[in-house]
Amino acid sequence: MRIAMIGQKGMPALHGGVERHVHELSVRLAERGFDVQVYARAWYTDTSVERYQGVTIVHLPSIKTKHLDAITHTFVSVFHAMFTRADVIHFHGVGPSLLAWIPRLFAPRTRIVSTFHSLDRKHEKWGAFARAALRAGEWASCRFAHRTVTVSEGIRTYVEVVYGKQTDLIPNAVPPYARVKTTDALDAFGLESGNYFLVVSRLIPCKGIQYLIDAFIQLQDTNALRGKKLAIVGDGFYSDRYVKKLHDMAAGNPDIVFTGFQSGVALSELYSHAFMKIHPSDNEGLPLTVLEAMSYGLPVLASDIAGHRDLISHPEYTFEAGSAQALKVKLVMLLGRDPAELVAEGDRNRQKVRDQFGWDEVVDKTIALYLNEVTSPTAQIATA
């Protein structure tokens, strides 16, 4: 069976939750014997890499601007996937799903799957026209896909209420990470093991990093932080103005450290030695960086949005979204706790990820969905 993955920026994954999800899923599908081709934007990865861990990488051009990059790449990818006679075209994200009607019309034998990763239209970086297009993409994800996948209970409920569509709940997943002892990355950024809060995120407005910087600076004046620093890991994405705003807020403060994008061993070290992961986002589907932190056994403090409540059930570890004051109050409360309680919360997080968000179950559910669609009576009629 040939599976075409469309909508992600590319593979191997360099950054981005959708990219990492597609990367991990595709490698595991290839290990199970599926013919997987992942479409990559020519600017994202090395175009000389045509195979990666059993997965075919198809590099195609796009118009690399904020509004045209994704949709133009999706357009050429859809026609390539139809030309190569993919059995399943799997769209990732509601924006790319806007073009799901094309294979439904011109390749009726191909089964269409769309994964609804997040409510993209609520991201502040988009203007009115882009938000309208993303809203249309939501509708298309529900109307033209044979099966719509949602990654969290919150998104599943939203789709059912707004579009009346029953979806397949298949969450994101992460491998069981093990902490490392090395500290080269910490040394490079002036951080000490167990003595910094960690943020891992794209630096875009909907991630709410401004609330955290505000709360952190306010707490510095009270001595409540006990010398802890704030490490912000990640780069912007068509968000230079916002990134500048964050740097301006932290200007002259040696305890707020911007590391830029990190991956591999350096990222593992930053997770392994953090005191706590903080995720103040205003909008998420099911955030991989929170799952990763939980897999490393970190306590996580996150905004009380639906995508976080699916992961963090204890209200003491959530705060009112969009409120630096509420975040500050929760930080003071948690900093006053017995350190053993925070260690125990991290242990609970690690176990929850391993019990509920492992890759084996996600791959099994995805394969079952593909097989069910390809062998369905309607698919057989279309093929005939």
Q: How confident is the model at residue 215 (pLDDT cuts 50, 70, 90)?
A: very high
Q: How far apart are CA 305 and CA 319, in angstroms?
A: 9
pLDDT at residue 121, rounded to an integer: 58
In CATH terms, the fold of domain 184-356 is: Rossmann fold (3.40.50)
Contact 246, 82 (CB under 8 A): no
Single pTM value for the model: 0.89
Q: State the chain's mean pLDDT as an integer.
A: 92
Could you state, in order of their start, the residue ranges of all structural domains in the chain?
2-173+358-383, 184-356
pLDDT at residue 47, rounded to an integer: 82
Strand pairing report for 55-60 and 51-52: antiparallel
Mean pLDDT over residues 24-36, rounded? 97
Query: 360: buried, middle or exposed (CB in 10 Å: 19+, 13-18, 0-12)?
Result: exposed
CATH number of the domain located at residue range(s) 2-173+358-383 in this protein: 3.40.50.2000
Residue 382 backbone dihedrals phi, psi, to 5 degrees: -65, -40
At 232 the three-state DSSP class reads: strand
Mean pLDDT over residues 364-373, rounded? 95
Take residue 81 and report the two structure tokens written for it.
Answer: 């996937």
Q: How far is CA 296 from the centre of its chain?
A: 17
Mean pLDDT over residues 15-37, rounded? 94
DSSP 3-state percent helix, strand, coil across the chain (nearest 5): 45, 15, 40
pLDDT at residue 16, rounded to an integer: 80
Q: How many angstroms separate the first and last alpha carbons of the chain? A: 17
Nearest to 227 by CA among 195, 254, 271: 195
200-211 pLDDT, tens digit per residue, is 999 989 899 999
Task: Verify cis geometry, omega within 30 degrees of 0, for the bond prior to 171.
Answer: no
Residue 56: strand pairing partners: 37, 51
Q: How far apart are CA 358 and CA 135, in angstroms?
A: 31
Take residue 155 and report the two structure tokens written for it.
Answer: 């998104």
Q: How far apart are CA 256 and CA 232, in angstroms?
A: 8
HSE toward the beta carbon, residue 177, CA cutoff 13 A: 30
CA-based torsion, 51, 36, 171, 286: positive or negative: positive
Contact 44, 34 (CB under 8 A): no
Contact 152, 310 (CB under 8 A): yes
pLDDT at residue 382, rounded to an integer: 59
Helix or strand run (H / E) with residue 172: none
pLDDT at residue 209, rounded to an integer: 96
101-149 pLDDT, tens digit per residue, is 999 999 999 999 999 987 765 656 657 777 888 889 999 999 999 999 9
Contact 296, 179 (CB under 8 A): yes
Domains 2-173+358-383 and 184-356 share a fold: yes
Mean pLDDT over residues 256-277, rounded? 96
Better-predicted residue by pLDDT, 285 or 181: 181
- Give the range among 44-48, 50-54, 358-362 with minimum mean pLDDT: 44-48
HSE toward the beta carbon, residue 166, CA cutoff 13 A: 0
Residue 200: strand pairing partners: 233
Q: How confident is the model at residue 283 (pLDDT cuts 50, 70, 90)?
A: confident
Mean pLDDT over residues 2-19, rounded? 91
